[in-house]
Amino acid sequence: MNHPSALLSPLPRADGSSTFSASGFSVMAVVNGPVEAPRRDENAFEAIVEVMVRPAAGPGGTAERLLETMLQSALRQLIPVRTFPRTMIQITLQILEVPQSPYKNTRILHPRVKNLALVPALLHASILGLISAAVPLKAIATAVSLAVRANGDTLVDPGPDDIDKASSVHVLAFTSDDELLLAESAGPFSVDEWHAILEMGQSVCCREPGPDAAMSAGVPESQGIRTFIRSVTEARSDEDLHWKK
Three-class secondary structure assignment of 48-85: EEEEEEECCCCCCCHHHHHHHHHHHHHHHHHCCHHHCC
* DSSP 3-state of 110: strand
Q: Is 163 exposed, middle or buried (0-12, 13-18, 19+ CB in 10 A)?
A: buried
Give the distance from CA 166 to its chain's centroid: 21
Q: Kind of pairing, strands 87-97 and 48-54?
A: parallel
Other CB atoms closer than 10 Å to residue 155's CB: what's the count?
Answer: 18
Residue 109: the pLDDT is 39
Q: Are 241 and 235 in contact (CB under 8 A)?
A: no
* DSSP 3-state of 172: strand
Confidence of residue 59 (pLDDT cuts 50, 70, 90): confident
Q: Is the pLDDT of residue 243 over 80?
A: no
Q: Is the pLDDT of residue 208 over 80?
A: no
Report the distance separating Cα 79 and Cα 198, nearest Å: 24
Between 222 and 46, the more confident residue is: 46
Of the candidates 238, 237, 232, 241, the residue with the CA atom closest to the CA atom of residue 22? 232
Per-chain mean pLDDT for the chain: 87
Q: Is the pLDDT of residue 122 over 80?
A: yes
Q: How far is CA 218 from CA 14, 34, 155, in A?
A: 41, 42, 10
Q: Are 160 and 99 in contact (CB under 8 A)?
A: yes
Q: How far is CA 36 from CA 93, 130, 158, in A?
A: 21, 17, 41
Q: Is the pLDDT of residue 49 over 80?
A: yes
Check the CA dihedral 171-66-27-228 and report its sign. negative
User: What domains can you pick out in the chain, each with its CATH number?
Assistant: 5-244 (3.30.230.70)
CA atoms within 13 A on the CB side of 21: 10
pTM of the model: 0.89
Confidence of residue 137 (pLDDT cuts 50, 70, 90): very high
Q: Is the pLDDT of residue 216 over 50?
A: no
Q: What are phi and psi of 171, to 5 degrees?
A: -135, 130
Check the CA dihedral 58-11-73-2 and report its sign. positive
Between 150 and 173, the more confident residue is: 173
Residue 92: the pLDDT is 98
Q: Which of 98-102, 127-131, 157-161 has the lowest mean pLDDT?
A: 98-102
